[in-house]
Amino acid sequence: MDIEVGWVDNAERVLLGLTREELYLIAGSVNEAIEAVEDWEFSTRLGVEKKAARKLRADLRAAIQELPPPG
């Protein structure tokens, strides 16, 4: 896996160039964390609030929906 990295807004935003497979892996990992980690320990274990993870999951799903068909 060779991920391309770029920065925007003084490194406040990171741009990643991912393969489709890598995007699916990240989306699945975020979903698994949301489902597997209890609310009370989520921010301690992952460093963000569960609400932020749910927003990221929704954004990743939207990005996946916009992908052109493989081929």
Q: How confident is the model over 21-59, as pLDDT tens digits?
A: 999 999 999 999 999 999 999 999 999 999 999 999 999
List % helix, strand, coil for the chain (3-state, nearest 5).
Answer: 60, 15, 30
Q: For the chain, which residues make up each domain, given as ranges?
A: 4-65
pLDDT recorded at residue 9: 81
pLDDT recorded at residue 57: 98
The Cα–Cα gap between 20 and 63 comes to 10
